[in-house]
Amino acid sequence: MLLNQYHDRMIAKKVLLGSLGFVALFLTANFFGDNVNAAPDPTFKPILGGIGNRRPRGMVMRLPSVLRLYDYKNERVTVYPEVRSIGGGLSITFNTERDCKARFCYFGRINAYQSLAAMKSSNPFDYDLISSPMGKPWTRIQPNRVCGIVSRKIIALNNSIKAVAVEHDTCGSASGVTNSVVWEQDKTVFVAQLGLGDINNINVAKSMANEPPTTFPIPY
């Protein structure tokens, strides 16, 4: 459990006050519930072999049993996943076109890390989501825009697992405002960062947290 000396209420207070220190936002728990192990959403079927082979040995992986993604018009988006290894984990990226490497078709990603330390060394941006202070309140170019971490809030994925939903504004880069959900479960740190707004990320995170860990190979 990460920094379990902080009580939930103290964590929430620090978040609400825009704490400048490391925000302890994870409660580690093994949640299996009473559900039958559902297969991951069929969107993942083409890359399941790659996920099973690329994940670090012993790392618990979770995939959502339901993957319904929407754009800013609240219209359903079809995505095509790709998987690659990252330091101490793996990354699943989602594009709106097949085999697209351009920015315009990038829709989001799910990252999984063996530990917080692996996330810190492999992807400083993901680590900043839970560790950086709140962003600057303004810029000379855009005086009403906050750059960096805009907000953090604690959400419940189920009765045992809590996560932090983060809004991050890169102020000027192509990615713009980013919404992410970050949590720790089964000693794995997960980051869901899919499309625009909280709704995609929270729904995906809840689906991941409330199914048993994914086993390989997948029996479809």
- Give the number of domains in the chain: 1
Residue 184 resides in a domain: yes
What are the residue ranges of helices labelled H in the chain? 8-16, 48-54, 116-122, 124-131, 198-209
Sign of CA dihedral 204, 205, 206, 208: positive
CB count, 10 Å around CB of 80?
17
Residue 217 resides in a domain: no
Residue 173 resides in a domain: yes
Residue 109 resides in a domain: yes
Which pTM does this prediction carry?
0.79
Residue 193 pLDDT: 92
Task: Classify 112 as helix, strand or coil.
Answer: strand
Residue 35 resides in a domain: no
Residue 63 pLDDT: 93
Mean pLDDT by 10 residues, the chain (220 residues): 37 34 36 52 91 88 90 86 94 92 87 94 92 80 79 92 91 74 94 81 92 72
Domain that holds residue 85: 8-27+41-209
